[in-house]
Amino acid sequence: MTSVSHHIPDHIMVAYVAGSLPHAYSLVVASHLSMCDRCRTRVAAHEAVGGSVLDSYATQDVSGDLRQRVFDQLDDPFEEAPRFERSGIFPAPVMEALGGLPPKWTPLGMGVRQSILSEDDQGTVRLLYIPSGQAVPDHGHNGLELTLVLQGAFRDETGYFGVGDVEVADDDLEHTPIADDGMPCICLAATDAALRFRSFVPRLLQPIFRI
């Protein structure tokens, strides 16, 4: 198991366990959990606390009609959803988002590529491919960004992030991530708002690349 130094913050973990975290971030958290023993243990603890809270609630009687409708739905035949396994550097949740297929990369310039896995009004999650030694243009954030390293590593003003590490960036952080020397850095990144680029060219191309 990879040694992980940067983990999911507690408030995000609680939202994930409660089912209130938007899909884009949930995909990053689920992928991190598949790589991090410590955070899987934390999730189990939060789930146990949540179960205890539910057990403390008073029971509520339901009508016979509602009970029968539930039983009828359980009797309906259904197709079991396909199960996905980890493939190479991609955890099972990423493979599910990819539909079991390789990523379809779109060039962003300077050798950087992206593959958007999901996009809705609550956020976007994408794979990013950054060549070794390449810097991502200096930028800030208009919301929350979670970035999970799947291959290689990068460093920025806040530290060093290797495989399994998650960087949490909010609107207070402006940084210039640089892929470490060696193999290309591949990350899974979720955002809920457009980035703030300083340079003119990235700002010009931003609507086209949906970043």
Domain ranges of the chain: 1-211
CATH 3.30.365.10: does it fit domain 1-211? no
- The model's pTM is 0.83
- Which residues lie below 8 Å from residue 77, measured CB to CB, with a gap of 6+? none
Q: One-letter amino acid identity for 105? A: W
**Contact of 23 with 123, CB cutoff 8 Å:** yes
Output the CA torsion sign for 164, 43, 11, 25.
Answer: positive
Residue 176's pLDDT is 95
pLDDT tens digits, one per residue of 33-75 = 999 999 999 999 988 876 555 555 566 666 767 767 766 766 6
Alpha-carbon span 120 to 86, nearest angstrom: 25
